[in-house]
Structure 1
Amino acid sequence: MPLPQQDNPWPRLIDERPRTYRLKTPRHSAVAVELGGAGDLVKIKIRVSRSIDMVLGMNTARVLDLSTEEAWAIWAALSDGLGAAGEPPDWANGPLPALGLDGQPLPPLPGALPVEPF
């Protein structure tokens, strides 16, 4: 599915700061995506919650280290595939905050447009 093309009067700001996006499912599994600069690897961690793993303190995270191209391919496949499955659930809908290396939300880039429409 091609991305929609629009004329954008503002230059696109590329955020080169390392950042993480995290999301937990209603069944307590967790997905974390770690991004760096444009040429850096993309790391996707998927931790499936199992009661025995919590008791034993085991790390059951599956980790994918991907190139930027591979990450875009996964995004395209998931967005098209899941889009055919219906609307996203409420817990997965909406923007996720970008977290810095310290786990705190990243401040906006200087010159970035506000998130809310003006």
Structure 2
Amino acid sequence: MRVRLVLKVKPDKPPTVPASLPRANNRFHDRLPVQCRFSIYAEGQTGQRCIVGRGINMTTSGALVEAAEPIRPKTLVYVKANGLGLMGSATVRHCTPSGSKFRIGLHFPNPLIRSL
């Protein structure tokens, strides 16, 4: 009978990745810069609230908006891009602090429609 012993040594710290390597852009659509006001309607604990933000960039499947208030990721919201005449539903993918504001990543599960 033979017994095989395998030892795995766990390193003290994870391997370092050079900071000079650019992150891969795996996006299906190109992001286009936008300069318009977004109104984001979200259900909160005290009812519906409206957060006004500034659009940074946008694709057909999402947008990055900068706003003064945070929104919790995975929140279902209703969006109006006033300067573009578009509206529809979105899901908050991330909300990242950026100075005194927050950058909110929105995903549009369905194409936005024209608003009146």
Normalized per residue, which structure has more strand?
2
Instruction: Give the structure with higher Rg (CA).
Output: 2
| Higher RCO (Cα < 8 Å, 6 or more apart) | 1
TM-score, normalised to structure 2, is 0.30
